[in-house]
Structure 1
Amino acid sequence: MSSAFLKNETADAPVVIPARAPLPPGVTNYVTPRGLALLRDEMIELETEHAHLQASEVPDGNERSRQLALLNGQISNLNQRISSARVVDSHPQDEVRFGATVVLKTQKGKSAGSERRFTIVGVDEADASLGFIAFTAPIARAIQGKRVGDAVPLRTLQGEEILEITAIRYEME
C-alpha cells in the first residue's frame, strides 16, 4: 500500500501547505466586495484555530508543531492574497465585466436552447457549483465586454457552441 494512504507521517516529513486557487502570473487579483469579506472571514477562522492550537496542551508535540506550521503557511498565503486584492465595485451596467451576473442561452451546439446563469468573480470566490465563475475562466474571458444580444462562440468538450447574452446584472455590491 502506498504511504500516501497512511496516516503515519514521520515527525521530519515536510509540511505540505495546500495551494490556493491559481492566479496566473502578472494577473491582478480582482475581488468583489463579497469576495474580500469571505477572505477576511477565512483569515479570522484560521487565526482562531491557530490561537486555540497554541493554547492547547496536545500530548504529541510533533503533531502540534506540524499543525501550527500548516496553519502558519495557510495564514501567510492568505495574507498575500488579501494584500494583493483589488476590489472592483463599479461597473458599466450594459456590458459584461467583473462582478456581472450573466444569463446565456445556447443558440447552437449540443445543448441548444439551454440557459446558464453565473457571476464572474475572483479566483478565491469561484465555485462553479454555486454559479460563481473565476474571471480567468475561458467562458468569462469570452464574454467580457459583450452586451445583451451579442452572440459569442465558445469551444467546449462537446464542440463549438454559440452563446447569446440575454441578461446582465450587477447585484453583488
Structure 2
Amino acid sequence: MRTNLITPEGLEKLKKELDYLWREYRPDITKKVAWAASLGDRSENADYKENKRLLRQIDSRVRFLRKRIDAVKVVHYAPAQDGRVFFGAWVVIEDEQGATRQFRIVGPDEIYGRTDYISIDAPMARALLKKEEGDEFSVSTPAGTKTWFVVSIHYGETPPENR
C-alpha cells in the first residue's frame, strides 16, 4: 500500500502535470483526432488510431492525478524535525566501507525520474526514520543485512551542496 504523503514541491509538480495535460497536451491531441477523423475512413487511418490511443492515455492519467491530488496529505517542514530523520529530509549515509549516498525521503509519487529520492515506503527510509547524525542502522537487502551510519540530515528543497 502506498503512503499518501507528499512534499509541497511534489504536490506542485503533480498539479503542473495535470494542468499541462488538461490545458495544453489534451487540446492539441483532440485537434489531431478531429483532423484525422475528417480524412474519412478511420479503419485504416493510423493518425486517427494513434491519437485516439494517446487521448485515452491522457484521460486515464488526468483521472489518476485528480484523484491522487485529492488523496495526498502535504507534509510541511517543522523546526522540531531538525537533527532527526523524518519525511522530507535530505540524508547522507555511509556504509562500513566508507561509501556515501545522499537522498531525500519523499512520497511514492515523487520518486519517478529522480535517482536522489527514495520513497518513505522503502525499507531504507523506514530504517532511517527518527535516526540522528552519527546513529547506526541496518537494512535487510537481498544480499544480506547491511549496516549504515547517518552522516548528515538537512531539510529543504535542494540537497545541502546545492544551497
Match of 1:54 in 2: 30
Matched, 1:81 2:57: no
For 1:33 and 1:138, the matched residues in 2 are separated by 23
Name the CA shift for 1:128/1:95 in 2 (closer, same or farther; >3 Å): farther
Which residue of the other structure, out of 134, 138, 143, is the alignment partner of 1:158? 143
Partner of 1:145: 130
Choose which of 7, 13, 17 in structure 2 pairs with 1:42.
17
Query: Matched residues in 2 for 1:141 and 1:96: separation?
Result: 10
Kindly indicate whether the alpha-carbon contact (under 8 Å) linking 1:46 and 1:71 is maintained by their aligned counterparts in 2: yes
Deviation (angstroms), 1:124: 1.4
Q: Which amino acid aligns with 1:32?
A: T
Residue number in structure 2 paired with 1:98: 87
> What's the counterpart of residue 14 of structure 1?
none
In the alignment, the residues of structure 2 paired with residue 35 and residue 171 of structure 1 have an alpha-carbon distance, to the nearest angstrom, of 13
User: How far off its partner does 1:122 sit?
Assistant: 1.1
AA aligned opposite 2:131: K
Residue in 1 that maps onto 2:107? 122
Given the two structures, how large is their TM-score scaled by the length of structure 1? 0.75
1:58 is matched by which residue type in structure 2?
Answer: A
Give the aligned residue type for 1:153: S
Letter in 2 for 1:147: E
- Is the partner of 2:36 in helix, strand or coil? coil
Which deviations, in whole Å up to 9, do the C-alpha atoms of 1:66-99 show, x marking residues without a partner?
A: 3222211111011111111211112311111100
Taking the aligned partners of 1:133 and 1:81, their CA distance within structure 2 comes to 19
Q: Contact (CA 8 Å) 1:32, 1:172: kept in 2 or not?
A: no
Structure 2: where are the runs of 5+ without partners? 38-44, 159-163
Contact 1:33/1:172 (<8 A) preserved: no
Equivalent in 112, 115, 121 of residue 136 of structure 1: 121
After superposition, what is the alpha-carbon deviation per residue over 1:82-120, rounded to whole angstroms, capped at 9, x for unaligned?
Answer: 11121111231111110000011113xxxx211111000
CA distance in 1, matches of 2:109, 2:85: 20
**Over the residues paired in the alignment, what is the CA RMSD in angstroms?**
1.9
CA contact (8 A) 1:28 1:86 kept: no
Question: CA separation in 2, counterparts of 1:58 and 1:128?
Answer: 33
Give the 3 Å change call, closer, same or farther, for CA 150–128 of structure 1 in structure 2. Answer: farther
Cα displacement (A) at 1:52: 1.1
Q: Percent identity?
A: 31
Residue identity matched to 1:152:
F
- Identify the range of structure 1 (162-171 vs 60-69) with the bigger mean alpha-carbon deviation: 60-69
